[in-house]
């Protein structure tokens, strides 16, 4: 029952935020990074954030979430608030990075750090190395999720997929809270978007996925690779694009439209088609995780699949 209530809360909050944004002319303007052509209200991520945190508090007071995970996820309030003001006033990149770094350190401290990184034939257990890795993972996940929130339904459907996949694999309530918090917003964003998520939503989702990845990696070290696979569509696209731009001596802080999903859109694919194909690819990745018992073989198969998908994108639109 609580999940239905949260779904309705997200749905109606997004509706009211959309109408308020239109009334106050709070719209996302079209620029060189945009994949949309019409100014559209933004800030729908506020509905996601509010619903998410209400759901977390419910789980905490009913004893359905571990306290360290609850408090680590609660740190996301900081990134949400700062991103809300960034949506309104375009804060400096340096200030955003400082906040992201602070949030990463705080989140890592609360979950007790990353215990180890298991490579199968050996493990890294040096806490300096593992926690430096965890720090960069959080900061990168925050930013890459923001980078890949560029077309209708794309970032929202990824979060819903990860929530459903997490619930099937681990069977706990915070994954369903994530699903319904985003699903209510996605009704207004999928297809012909009436409102955008904005940084307030995308950075929070990136932080949440990072903390969940680290938390479950501490429960079982191999879970780190499972979440890397499940998050593979976003993680692979963002990381490869960043490395290629760096190799080409491009200003990596400058807005661009070179991610795979953007290039598919430029090749003539609609937002709807790109998003639907990404959902299909996510289902394949989940099937690999679910049916291949050896996580490292699953990771290798997934990596080969993502490379082939990137080759397909190259045929449609060169980097």
Contact (CB, 8 A) for 65 and 212:
no
211-222 per-position pLDDT tens digit: 999 999 999 999
Q: Using CA atoms, how far apart are residues 6 and 185, in angstroms rounded to an integer?
A: 11
Indicate if the pLDDT at residue 17 is higher than 60: yes
Q: What angle do CA 91, 156, 242 make, to 5 degrees?
A: 55
The structure tokens 């706990």 sit at 172
Indicate if the pLDDT at residue 34 is higher than 70: no
Indicate if the pLDDT at residue 30 is higher than 80: no
- The structural domains of the chain, with segments of one domain joined by +, span 2-316
Residue 246: Cβ within 10 Å count: 11
Over pLDDT 70: what percentage of the chain? 95
How high is the pLDDT of residue 12? Answer: 95
Q: Using CA atoms, how far apart are residues 35 and 148, in angstroms rounded to an integer?
A: 11
Specify the higher pLDDT residue, 33 or 313. Answer: 313
pTM for the whole thing? 0.94
How high is the pLDDT of residue 256? Answer: 84
How high is the pLDDT of residue 90? Answer: 86
Please tell me the number of Cα atoms within 13 Å of 80 on its side-chain side: 21
How high is the pLDDT of residue 1? Answer: 86
Buried/exposed code over 291-318 (b: 16+ C-beta within 10 A; e: otherwise): ebeebeebbebbeebbeebbeebeeebe
Interval 124-134 mean pLDDT: 96
């Amino acid at each position: 029952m609580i999940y239905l209530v949260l779904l309705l809360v997200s749905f109606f909050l997004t509706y009211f935020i959309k109408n308020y944004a239109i009334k106050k002319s709070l719209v996302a303007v079209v620029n060189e990074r945009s994949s949309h052509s019409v100014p559209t209200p933004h800030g729908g991520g506020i509905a996601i954030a509010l619903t998410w945190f209400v759901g977390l508090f419910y789980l905490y007071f009913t004893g359905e979430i571990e306290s360290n995970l609850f408090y680590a996820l609660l740190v996301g309030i900081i990134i949400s608030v700062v991103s809300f003001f960034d949506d309104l006033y375009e804060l400096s990149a340096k200030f955003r990075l400082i906040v992201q770094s602070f949030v990463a350190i705080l989140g890592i401290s609360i979950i007790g750090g990353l215990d180890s990184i298991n490579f199968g034939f050996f493990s890294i257990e040096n806490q300096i190395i593992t926690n430096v890795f965890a720090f960069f993972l959080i900061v990168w996940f925050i930013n890459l999720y923001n980078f890949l929130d560029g077309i209708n339904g794309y970032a929202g459907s990824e979060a819903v997929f990860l929530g459903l996949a997490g619930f099937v694999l681990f069977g706990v309530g915070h994954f369903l809270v994530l699903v319904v918090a985003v699903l209510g917003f996605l009704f207004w964003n999928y297809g012909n978007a009436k409102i955008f998520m904005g940084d307030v939503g995308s950075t929070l989702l990136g932080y949440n996925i990072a903390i969940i990845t680290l938390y479950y990696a501490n429960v079982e070290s191999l879970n780190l690779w499972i979440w890397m696979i499940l998050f593979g569509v976003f993680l692979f696209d963002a990381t490869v694009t960043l490395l290629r731009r760096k190799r080409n001596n491009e200003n990596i802080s400058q807005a661009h439209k070179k991610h795979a999903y953007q290039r598919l859109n430029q090749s003539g694919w609609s937002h709807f088609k790109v998003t639907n194909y990404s959902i299909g690819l996510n289902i394949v990745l989940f099937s690999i995780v679910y049916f291949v018992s050896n996580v490292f073989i699953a990771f290798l198969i997934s990596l080969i699949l993502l490379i082939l998908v990137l080759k397909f994108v190259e045929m449609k639109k060169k980097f």
